[in-house]
């Protein structure tokens, strides 16, 4: 589904991705771990095309997409739920979803897409007319997820979905993520997290990043049981 080969990315002269190589299969749920400032967000932005790869290659569904603009990648099914869950605060919940779907008309197809999102997030349905800015942090995260979901992605990437949320809210966000995966065996998930335990519980494999490099990779069980690794890179 997704393959990175020796991908480098820079901010000016600062190298923030250093020869990243990784592979994610269709239907997998993979997590990217690592403390603040290690390049996790940059990695997701590079995959979706908001940040250029200066060298290396990105393949998606077997095609070389390294030079594709972001809008083309999104159209082909790559979707990123950004860090800090950016929603339009002065638009209603429903308008936020429709804008993400690429329409504001509200036709038959849009109604179906909305219903799909509302079936996963009943809270959003109850608040469909409310301004997004008035939602709680957890509800805004749900809305940000809904905005991605309405684009029917093949590769869904989430940047720190649990950041700044109370533990009970984190639980409900991950419940929603599991619900999204039910009946969508082909959906591939890449989730960036600092919350190591939650991340590994919800993924089958993980990569650990340190200063723009992948320093460890393994199944969730391997990473969970590697106390040296956790001590050295993850601070837990
Ligand atoms: N817009 C930017 N301009 C310059 N440097 C940046 C910018 N965004 C991030 N960085 C730097 O790139 C590095 C990686 O950042 P980031 O990908 O956001 O890490 P993470 O998501 O792991 O916290 C950090 O050293 C950060 O300071
Ligand atoms: Mg980040």
In contact, 211 and 227? CB cutoff 8 Å = no
In contact, 20 and 43? CB cutoff 8 Å = yes
pLDDT in tens, 77-110: 999 999 887 899 999 999 999 998 876 566 677 7
User: Is the predicted pLDDT of residue 194 greater than 90, yes or no?
Assistant: no
Q: Kindly report the protein residue whose alpha carbon is nearest to atom 6 of ligand 1.
A: 11
For 200-226, the DSSP string reads: HHT-SEEEEEETTEEEEEEEHHHHHH-
Residues having CB closer than 6 A to ligand 1 are 11, 14, 16, 34, 36-42
Average pLDDT value for residue range 23-27: 96
CA distance 203 to 215: 18
In contact, 1 and 188? CB cutoff 8 Å = yes
| pLDDT level of residue 236 (50, 70, 90 thresholds) | low
Domain count of the fold of the chain: 1
CA-wise closest residue to 14 among 51, 60, 44:
51
Distance, C-alpha 177 to centroid of its chain: 11
Pocket test for ligand 1, best of 15, 34, 41 (most atoms within 8 A of CB): 41
Query: How close is the Cα of 32 to the center of ligand 2, in Å?
Result: 10
For 125-182, the DSSP string reads: HHTTTSBGGGS-HHHHHHHHHHHHHTT--SEEEEE-TTTT--HHHHHHHHHHHHHHHT
CA distance 156 to 151: 10
pLDDT in tens, 128-177: 999 999 999 999 999 999 999 998 899 999 999 999 888 999 998 999 99
Q: Kindly report the protein residue whose alpha carbon is nearest to atom 12 of ligand 1.
A: 16
pLDDT reported for residue 44: 97
pLDDT reported for residue 229: 77
**Environment of ion ligand 2 (residues, CB < 5 A):** 40-41, 83
Q: Kindly report the protein residue whose alpha carbon is nearest to atom 5 of ligand 1.
A: 11
User: Is the predicted pLDDT of residue 112 greater than 90, yes or no?
Assistant: no
Q: Domain containing 131 — which CATH number?
A: 3.40.50.300
- Rounded to the nearest integer, the mean pLDDT of the chain is 91
In the chain, how many H helices and how many E strands?
A: 10, 10
Residue 35 CA: nearest ligand 1 atom is 22
Range of the domain at 103: 2-234
């Amino acid at each position: 589904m997704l393959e990175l080969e020796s991908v480098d990315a820079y901010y000016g002269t600062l190298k923030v991705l250093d020869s990243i190589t990784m592979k994610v299969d269709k239907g997998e749920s993979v997590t990217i771990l690592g403390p603040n400032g290690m390049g996790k967000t940059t990695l997701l932005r590079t995959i979706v095309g908001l940040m250029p790869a200066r060298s290396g290659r990105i393949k998606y569904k077997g095609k070389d997409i390294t030079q594709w603009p972001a809008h083309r990648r999104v159209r082909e099914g790559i979707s990123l739920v950004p860090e800090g869950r950016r929603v339009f605060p002065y638009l209603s919940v429903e308008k936020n979803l429709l804008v993400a779907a690429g329409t504001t008309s509200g036709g038959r197809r849009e109604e179906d897409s909305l219903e799909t999102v509302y079936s996963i997030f009943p809270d959003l349905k109850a608040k469909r007319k409310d301004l997004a800015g008035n939602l709680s942090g957890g509800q805004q995260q749900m809305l940000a997820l809904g905005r991605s979901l309405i684009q029917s992605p093949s590769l869904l990437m989430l940047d720190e979905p649990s950041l700044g949320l109370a533990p009970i809210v984190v639980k409900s966000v991950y419940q929603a993520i599991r619900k999204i995966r039910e009946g969508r065996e082909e959906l591939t998930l890449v989730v960036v997290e600092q919350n190591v335990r939650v991340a590994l519980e919800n993924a089958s494999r993980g990569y650990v990043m340190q200063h723009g490099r992948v320093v460890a990779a393994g199944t969730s069980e391997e990473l969970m049981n590697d106390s040296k690794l956790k001590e050295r890179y993850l601070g837990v």
